[in-house]
Chain A
């Protein structure tokens, strides 16, 4: 059974750093595409970042240069390192597995979400 469990959210001051973790089971993270999606309070979904099985990474313009996606193959875990955090980064962050159907990429399994609050 595919399962994703997140940890690492919390309250952080503007300018601070936080690292989110997403532990996977039931599949191999290193053989998969993995992504982060966030949702600000009362708002819609915003794609944040993706890491491909080959290691290529992409970021939304809103986080480029501040966030880094990575994985630990031995721990089968995905990470999101968030630096220089801003108030507008406040959101529930979801990790999700990317399913490549051959006709595009979709997010077929999601973690439960972890709240990141950036506030002084």
Chain B
């Protein structure tokens, strides 16, 4: 099975900061990589699909890049509502659709 590893596992930042989260796949997955945001007690929300496509309604300060094994999620200017946990998820070939372990973004 394909594994995905996120880094860092936690991150402290301030409102207005530019933040980057990384996801690495255990083998090449082309652009089959998605990003989600989850707040405590809530269901995850899709942010980015196919590595760099912004899901409907997601603010443009979120962006994704990468292909092959290395991917990044960037938040260009952190807003108070962006403090949450972020997950990557790969969907290359047949299931399982594995998630990364998550990155908790906290207020500095």
Task: Using CB atoms and an 8 Å cutoff, list the residues of chain A in contact with chain B.
Answer: 35, 37, 44-47, 50, 58-61, 94, 99, 101-108, 110-113
For residues 67 through 99 of chain B, which have their beta carbon under 8 Å from a beta carbon of chain A? 87, 89-92, 94-99
Report whether over half of chain B's contact residues are helix, strand or loop; otherwise say mixed: loop
Q: Which residues of A contact B90 (CB under 8 A)?
A: 104
- Chain A interface helix/strand/loop/mixed: strand
Q: Which residues of A contact B43 (CB under 8 A)?
A: 94, 110-113
A47 with B97, Cβ < 8 A, contacts A104-B33, A106-B89, A113-B43 known: yes
Selected A-B contacts with CB under 8 Å, 11 pairs: A37-B44, A58-B95, A60-B96, A101-B53, A103-B51, A104-B31, A104-B90, A106-B50, A107-B44, A107-B89, A110-B44
Residue contact B53 to A44, C-beta cutoff 8 Å:
no
Docked pose: A107 CA to B95 CA in angstroms: 13
Q: Choose from B31, B45, B55, B98 the contact partner of A103 (Cβ within 8 Å).
A: B31
Cβ contact within 8 Å between B95 and A108: no
CB contacts (< 8 Å) of A107 on chain B: these are: 34, 36, 44, 46, 89
